[in-house]
Amino acid sequence: MAISKGDQLPDATLVELTDKGPAQISLKERLAGRNVVIFALPGAYTGTCTTAHVPSFIRTADQFRDKGVDEIVCLSVNDPFVMGAWGKDTGADKAGITMMGDPDAEFTKAVGMDFSAPPVGLINRSKRYAMYVQDGTVSVIQAEENPGQCDISGGEALLDAI
């Protein structure tokens, strides 16, 4: 069953590329006492993810911060090296967006947001969604019906919802 409003997010180990190399991140510790936006997508360097989803959060990053958001996290079932490179290539890192990988889809599966599309080479990937999390509890979640769409999960739509 997919995660929904009011649910506490499960702890998971995500990976972030830092100046010192890959760092394992406890999601529970990262969210404790903080307001965080997490937007998840099927894959780094894929079409809609690169041309619509990430840019929507780059455009709205300052507005989220003005609303009291402590961190914006882009999450994908990719390794931290790919996520780090993609953050640089898209400008997400300059916008202050944290790029995190869920390499074995541990978190994605735990929240019921995984899918596979073998014909296009996407296996155990994340559905496209965005959520606003306060102290580890989901306050707003907006998930797309189709992973190729970025309407209700985009930055502007989530900003309006919080």
User: Does residue 125 contact residue 95 with C-beta atoms inside 8 Å?
Assistant: no
User: Does residue 38 contact residue 75 with C-beta atoms inside 8 Å?
Assistant: yes
> Counting Cβ atoms within 10 Å, is residue 17 exposed (0-12), middle (13-18) or buried (19+)?
buried
Among residues 15, 49, 52, 138, which one is catalytic?
49
Residue ranges of domains in the chain, CATH in brackets: 13-161 (3.40.30.10)
Residuewise pLDDT in 10s, the chain (162 residues):
689 999 999 999 999 999 999 999 999 999 999 999 999 999 999 889 999 999 999 999 999 999 999 999 999 999 999 999 999 999 999 999 999 999 999 999 999 999 888 787 777 889 999 999 999 999 999 999 988 899 999 999 999 999
Q: Which of 70, 85, 80 is nearest to 38 (CA)?
A: 70
Backbone angles phi, psi at 133, to 5 degrees: -120, 130
Q: Parallel, antiparallel, or unpaired for β 35-41 and 21-26? A: unpaired
Among this protein's residues, is 49 annotated catalytic?
yes
